[in-house]
Structure 1
Amino acid sequence: MLTLQRVSVGYGDAPTVLRDVSVTLRPGRVLALTGSSGAGKTTLLNAMAGLLPPRDGTVTVDGQPLRDRDHAVEHRIVLVPQDNGLAPILTAAENLQVALVAGGMAASEARQQTAALLDRLGLSGQADQLVEELSGGQQQRTAIARGLALRGGVLLADEVTSELDAGNRQRVLDLLHDEARRGAAVVFATHDPEVAAACEAELHLVEGRAEIVRD
């Protein structure tokens, strides 16, 4: 369970971006994180992922203060960043396999899992292409595949459907809901109202504050 209690966050000496945010990420639910560009969606995800310590308030995971990104990884908090975070000189398949093997999976099983996930995201034909050769939408789907492969207890996804057509956007949404049904807590940052409406709950950011729209 990941909980933020009256959290304020910002970068360096710059003004505070978000103030007094409280939310609990519930297993089995997809939470849409909405707000205009610059509202602080990525900032809040970074705080949830252990990349940005709060200036005030607390971020706890399973009752313990979240220390840093390594601590978050130990507690199976998976972040799919907006810039996808993929290694451009590796293929789509290699990006998944490296992450799975690093997590302790046998190489043969990692290959099988990789092939299955890329197929589910319509990327079987791109498995052996370098990431730098993929389109923006294909890179987004590869990043989602890697995030799903890690089977986190918390999955944080940052604007991962912005370059997808309607069919692939729905495919990603279906997979995120599958993760929630598996028992994960999913947070999906999006500026798309249709995507947000497809989620069970919504946290909206405006003028440095957060308000629950649906819960």
Structure 2
Amino acid sequence: MTTLTVDAAEFGYGDTGPVLSGITVTARPGEVLAVTGTSGAGKTTLLNAMAGLLPARAGTVAVDGTPLTSRDHAVSLSVVLIPQDNGLAAILTAAENISVAVIATGGSPADARRRTAGALESLGLSGQANQLIDELSGGQQQRTALARGLALRGDVVLADEVTSELDAANRQRVLDLLRAEAGRGAAVVFATHDPEAAAACDRELHLADGVATWARP
């Protein structure tokens, strides 16, 4: 069971002022933590920092007490990021995007085939497995990115606005899958501007004006 902790941290970009400051939060195994706030409040900044993409200017981001030093370090500690922009390779099919990621993180080709098929099926995308990313709708691309993240079976799963382009039925499907990730023991962090989606999570951290407050601790 893996815990991700942000302790008295400040984050920002370049020489500009801080985007977030004084951030302290723990993502615990077996629960889904919602990170909420308006557009520009810093939700993506916080998830990028948790993923090892953005170093803290002050304070620490750590996995089981080990401070993160880079994205590669976070990957080695089984921290999975499902980004808002989906990060899919347009020249690959939906299935290839997932299989490549599984193999890159140590899975065998057989593992990749099995996990890819299962993840696509869980998101209702079996029929799109062999379609190129550019042939998919925005919602299908978003679900493919989520399928890739789920196939990696991370100890920490960071999902950034992964329901923003989905209809109600697929949004509920995604929430159920994130809950299932927590059910197998992962620490799940879900950034969302959707109050209904946030209400389905165990706890809610709200970002506004560069600081975090607990809407539901």
Partner Cα separation in structure 1 for residue 197 and residue 95 of structure 2:
27
% identity of equivalent residues: 69
For residue 184 of structure 2, what is the aligned residue in structure 1? Answer: 182
The residue type equivalent to 1:36 in the other structure is T
What whole-Å deviation, never above 9, does each CA across 1:55-99 have from its counterpart, x for those lacking one? 111111111111111110111000000000111110000001111
**Equivalent position amino acid for 2:179 in 1:** H
What RMSD, in angstroms, separates the aligned Cα atoms of the two structures?
Answer: 0.8
SS in 2 for 1:119: helix
Match of residue 136 from structure 2: 134
What's 2:80 paired with? Answer: 78
TM-score, with length taken from structure 1: 0.98
| Worse overlay, 111-120 or 8-17 | 111-120
Partner of 1:195: 197
Q: Equivalent residue for 1:104? A: 106
Match of 2:97 among 95, 98, 116: 95
- Structure 1: tracts of 5 or more residues without a match: none
Give the superposition deviation at 1:15: 1.2
Q: CA deviation at 1:111?
A: 1.1
1:153 aligns with 2:155: yes
Q: Structure 1 residue 65 and structure 2 residue 67: aligned?
A: yes
- Helix, strand or coil for the counterpart of 1:156? strand
| 9, 12, 19: which one aligns with 1:10 | 12
Deviation of 1:108 after TM superposition, in Å, equals 2.4
Structure-1 separation of matches of 2:4 and 2:216: 18
- State the alpha-carbon separation in 1 of the partners of residues 203 and 19 from structure 2: 23
Q: In structure 1, how many angstroms separate the alpha carbons of the residues matched to 2:58 and 2:110?
A: 45
CA distance in 2: counterparts of 1:19 and 1:168, whole angstroms: 34
Report the counterpart of residue 163 of structure 1 in structure 2: 165
Code of the aligned partner of 1:78: V
- Tell me if 1:172 matches 2:155: no
Distance between the aligned counterparts of 1:156 and 1:63, measured in 2?
Answer: 18
Structure 1, 10-19 or 107-116: larger mean CA deviation? 107-116
Normalised TM-score (structure 2): 0.97
